[in-house]
Structure 1
Amino acid sequence: MPEGHTVHRLARTFDHLFRGEAVSVTSPQGRFADGAALLNGSPLLRAEAFGKQMFLGFGPDPAATREVPDEDLNWLRVHLGLYGSWTFAGDGSVSTVHAIGAPRKRIGEQERVLDAAVLAPGTVAVHRSNTAESVEWIVPDPRGQVRARILGQHAVADLTGPTACEVLNFPEMRRAAAKLGPDPLRSDADPQRFIDQVRRSRIAVGQQLMNQSVIAGVGNIYRAEALFRAHVDPYLPGNLVPEETLRAMWDDLVVLMEYGVKTGAIVTTEPEDRDKGMDPAALAEASGRRAVTRQNTDGDPDAVPRDRSFYVYHRHGQPCRICGTTVSIADMQARKLYWCPTCQN
């Protein structure tokens, strides 16, 4: 499941590709036909991310501008869940990516990025005559079970496999967003809501960090890494975690997740720690039985390699980068939990 920084990147991508443009909205698969009909021909005026959910605001008529109040917009709510993805193609006049977070096949806890060749970018046909040359963008056909397609003048976005895809009015949109906890990536987030909710419960803090009604956008990677960086035992009851520790954890997540939005990758290690805990024998043994964490920056020679990006996530069986203790793994609420028994004691 994409973590919150990925959804914020998606919102920025939609804002970049389609802002202010009346777009065609269809449902090639047919399951979103009624919702698509409500939005078809409307301009996309807003793109908002709340944690792991994205809300796209469409104007009431083709001539609507960005000055239209939020209350007058129709809102497309999309929650990708475990299997959903957006893929993009364009005519070359605007910068696009094939996918943010990349379409994934999920096999247990393992996520594998599909070959980019299947993403079918649009092609450009050049027509020449004795007197003129014209360029026509050939929009790619939908691939797979496309729930919703958004087509603009220069780009197309296809949605497949979402957990939720629905059109809401403004009160419905606000109620959906209100169910979520504060999002560290939003300027209007109130960290005290997060702190108070954790501390009023005896539920383990590691479990609460994965509850989207407690804090929105934190997934399994940010959960493991934030707890490690704060030296907090994931099994510690929330009401026993000091307020100042939770405040520092929130501030740390803001920094880490903003880096994720900027780069498309999660990197939580400090530069001086990245070569620690890299025992070749332990690494070779662990690599044969652990999932590979994919990043949007895979293949970028200037990016931090994924085996140096994390302190504990997917590093079970390897030595802790700080103290050398073997990193532990366990199940918590049907998800894998990673932690250092010494540093987080």
Structure 2
Amino acid sequence: MPEGHTLHRIADLHQTRLGGQVVRAASPQGRFADGANLIDGQVLESAEAYGKHLFHHYPSGVTVHVHLGLYGTFSEVDLPMPEPVGQVRMRLTGNNFGTDLRGPTACEIFDPSQVDALMARLGADPLRADADPDKAGERIRKSRKAIGALLMDQSIVAGVGNVYRAEVLFRHGISPFRPGNQLSVDEWNAIWADLLELMPIGVETGRMHVVRPEHDLGAPSYATDRPRTYTYRRAGEPCRVCATPIATGTLDGRNVFWCPTCQPS
């Protein structure tokens, strides 16, 4: 599932290439036909992201809400727009830019109250200026749940997924199984500061860069054309810092990765 930096990168692209323009909207697949008719011919006022959610705001008061889920993707399309390929849920065309959305979990019309209600349910997004890390830290320190699960709870921290979760905990030597109420204020502040540094790099480059330069050597990435990671998808491989085999397990139904030596229980 795309993590928060991907949605912010898409929002920035759409704001730059479509913002302030009259857009033509269609749903070749048909599943968003009514919504496309509502926004077709309107000016896209703004595009923004919050966590793993994308919002397109229009002057009529309607907002298109998109959650990519596991399989959703936006693809750029050269103008003039060709016949759609595959199941295109939403097609948007501006003056010099077109994009097709395929396979999202959600692509729907929201009114302002629905936008407000969804945003109120989301936690602190490290990529938003209105984030409240202190509130997130307080919730974490009051919980007996594992910090690895709490970081993935979008009502506490919005936008962090499995990769950032695994990597930021490694970078701070914290076991993903440590209860949140055993995390100190200083430890949480350090994690948050690290997310503030790492996630904007993902927005800018489209890639997660999480390994410090002095460790970015030796073993290749877990997959072709992916940046190196410390623990994510490296089960059984030697730790880049201490050579201990990376461990894996499950936490709240999701795979989790850690170094037993660098992140002691």
RMSD, aligned α-carbons: 1.5
Q: Which residue of 1 aligns with 2:4?
A: 4
Distance 2:87 2:55 in 1: 21
Distance 1:275 1:153 in 2: 45
Report whether the alignment pairs 1:200 with 2:142: yes
Between the two proteins, the alignment pairs up a number of residues equal to 264
One-letter amino acid matched to 1:262: E
Distance 1:242 1:152 in 2: 49
Report whether the alignment pairs 1:82 with 2:70: yes
Residue 266 (structure 1) shift? 0.4
Q: Which residue of 1 aligns with 2:242?
A: 323
Match of 1:311 among 209, 230, 234: 230
Superposition map of 1:113-262 within 5 A:
138-262=80-204
Report whether the alignment pairs 1:266 with 2:208: yes
What is the SS of the residue equivalent to 1:239?
Answer: helix
Residue 235 (structure 1) shift? 0.5
Q: Which residue of 2 aligns with 1:105?
A: none
Q: Which runs of no fewer than 5 residues in structure 1 stay unpaired? A: 61-72, 92-137, 299-304
Q: Which residue of 2 aligns with 1:128?
A: none
The superposition leaves residues 218-270 of structure 1 with CA deviations (integer Å, 9 ceiling, x where unpaired) of: 01100000100111111011111111101110110110001111111101111
Q: Which runs of no fewer than 5 residues in structure 2 stay unpaired? A: none
Residue 211 (structure 1) shift? 1.0
The superposition leaves residues 59-96 of structure 1 with CA deviations (integer Å, 9 ceiling, x where unpaired) of: 22xxxxxxxxxxxx3211000001111111134xxxxx
What is the SS of the residue equivalent to 2:45?
Answer: strand
**Length-normalised TM-score, structure 2:** 0.96
Q: Which residue of 2 aligns with 1:344?
A: 263
Residue 183 (structure 1) shift? 0.2
One-letter amino acid matched to 1:193: K
Residue 293 (structure 1) shift? 4.1
Distance 1:178 1:265 in 2: 28
Distance 2:155 2:96 in 1: 37
Distance 1:239 1:87 in 2: 42
Of structures 1 and 2, the larger Rg is shown by 1
The superposition leaves residues 180-238 of structure 1 with CA deviations (integer Å, 9 ceiling, x where unpaired) of: 11100111101012101111110110011111111000011000001001111110111
One-letter amino acid matched to 1:331: T
What is the SS of the residue equivalent to 2:126?
Answer: coil
Q: Which residue of 2 aligns with 1:20?
A: 20
